[in-house]
A and B are shown apart, each in its own frame.
Chain A
Amino acid sequence: MAYSDKYWQKEEVLPKKELESLQLKRLKWVVKHAYDNVPYFRRKFKEKGIHPDDIRKREDITKLPFTTKEAFKENYPFGLFAVPKDRIIRIHTSSGTSGKPKVVGYTSNDLENWINMVARCMYMVGVRSRDVFQNMVSYTFFTGGLGFHYAAEKIGAMVVPAGTGNTERQIRYMIDFGTTVIHATPSYAMHIKEVAESLNIKPDEIGLKIGCFGAEPWSNNTRKRLEDAFNIKAFDSYGLSEMNGPGVAFECEEQNGLHIWADHYFVEIVDKNGDPVGEGERGELVLTPLTKEALPLIRYKTGDVTFIMDDECSCGRTHPKIHRILGRADDMIVVRGINVFPSQIEHVLMQIPEVGDHFQVVITRNGSLDEITVKVEMRDEVFTGELSDFKRIQSKVQRELYKELGLRTNVELVEKGTIERFVLKAKRVVDLRDEI
């Protein structure tokens, strides 16, 4: 049952002071829990000369060691679990380094907490029991499918467990079942739009109201395109399986930053050296789950780059907001010594009306010089049959990219539909450079 007609749980509006003291209490618990029950963490703590009793105030968290995704590889499959296997009631996996998947586990309490957090998010963007929710992400191993599925059921919405693929059927069901809410990757949603149009179905007449999009970086311009295409409000969803899955942070009706549930996650932003960044500065997001029984990761480096936004949100929630993810700390490509995030390129392209929704970046090395080639699809409407069309678009894209990246790029126009569409996560960067 919802706490009110606006909030799913009362913790969403917990006064800041209470939220902070709750965090400290839970931080102490999780640190001790990890130390007592996971040999890996006990060893790491000892190497740093730190004991759970040393955590007396919130700031003391910086004394603790970081955890990286390497820990999953080292402890595959269940070495990081802090409870006996018979208390684990579900696992999920996600792709990890060197072919070893990351295995995450949940106790019954963990699932309860997780599903309530996803329900908070969905309730926050307006999902109610009268809605029909079509969940168009993978259900196999991936946390996104079941995470949203159970949360929508908990709210009481009618759930269509559609999964991915078979786009024509997805569209038919949307119409037949009266779907009002969808969950998908932004690139799959753009694909749905294209397929609908090819079937002479106007995407904005399907009847959708709300779209939850995540699992890959997307820009505000893509948001606008999705909203215009389907006549919906589109919300950014953030999560990672190491922190349960989706529902870690989510946009509210303001669509300006994602509330991160601070009663369950301790948030830090750190620089390359692992030191805290200044207020409002961008850096890597580091999370410590405060209530996880099965998998109490301490100071987990997410690899996602963001920053903490200004306090106080008109929606009334007291939980801090992070900016939508700016890129992956490890996705960052260095071209001729300049740091480039694919999201920057997307941002530029989406502001150029002449190019389509899809792009690919190819990086090659010519002698000792890195070359960056951006492949874009030209929109039909701007083609007049003249070669000058191409020159104009190419130099416009080149100029705009230069302004954003400070880099010369080659811009290649390709035929519509030739850039591969990805259902799960778009592979937008192909790096063909040899190792130096």
Chain B
Amino acid sequence: MFTGARLLILLVLAAGPAWARVITVGPSRQVSSLQAAVAAAQAGDTVQVHPGTYREGNILIRKPLYLVGVGYPVIDGEGKYEIFTVAATDVVIRGFRLINTGSASINDIAAIKGLDVQRMKILDNQFEETFFGIHLSNSRQTLIEGNTLRGTSGARAEQDVGNGIHLWKCDHITIRKNTVTSHRDGIYFEFVTRSLVEDNYSHQNLRYGLHFMFSHEDEYHNNIFQNNGSGVAIMYTRGVTMTGNVFEYNQGAAAYALLLKDISDSRIERCQFRNNTVAIYMEGSSRCILQDNGFRENGWALKIQASCDNNTLTRNNFIRNTFDVATNGSLSLNTLTSNYWDKYEGYDINRDGVGDVPFHPVSLYGMIVERMPTAVLLWRSFLVFLLDRAEKVVPAVTPENLKDEKPAMRSYDRG
């Protein structure tokens, strides 16, 4: 008998989810209002939304719900409202088309805002003309996958647009396979820890493709950051892992494909930097490992300020950059070794693939341009050629100890 009761309880528990109802919402259905459906739903219910345009102001969700769009129903914020505000655990929002949120300079109005959420899933939604796309604060264990976010079109000033995916004080968040464009920052983190960002495509954002600070122990894999106003900027963080990311066409006077400010104990590996004004700008960064990256056709492949120490650069390819390395001081506390430099003119007598004389990647003219940016207009003139030659023979200005002791003779082939 006792066993029977136990079995009954077990059965009840197992069947629990089956009791969750499905509420169908659609213009010609029983329930035509999304607000009403959300209000009527019990925790754990599914609200299935059929195609149509819903203009229902701000929708507040305070219980676990599955919100599923069928055929991308349009939820219109009418240029005034925040669309979904979620303050509950276990909410899923999938398959919606969220358009025209309001915009404000005091509130961060978003298409989906999460406050203190846990185990939330935001999947396969389309965001258009949104101020902030996804905005989470104080949240954990959340998955953001397969969304397409496009911010305010035609915005010129940074204050007129919000961030695509904006996270504040979160941990264990996964952001995967999203496309973000026309926002201020594509992905913005502040105090976000132990999170994973992979396979995202962040392009043509007004400011940064990715921007984070105080976000320790995060990982970034195989993302593409392209053509953003100022590239990618990461600051005041330790333990960053970046692999297989692509940074390209970030061009402009203040554009850095990757700006590292006060970054420590981090790894940047197998990333590709192409056609950027400055591929990597490092300031106040320590103990970072940059290896197996490719730098191709950048204005400056690496600007490493004298405030950086104990960083290691190995097995990187430097090909057809205007300037390979620039620095602002005569002291260098970093290690460069076994990189391939296409400007290397040394020889390899014992044929072990390693150049026999060290390579000095900082050119005299690079130093001059560092001090007088206008002088870049004389680049590749005969005069500059002579100056650089003279400096190579008798180094006087360029930092003597900033050199690659074992330059590779052949570029590392990485398909």
Partners in one complex: no
User: What residues of chain B have their CB less than 8 Å away from a CB belonging to chain A?
Assistant: none
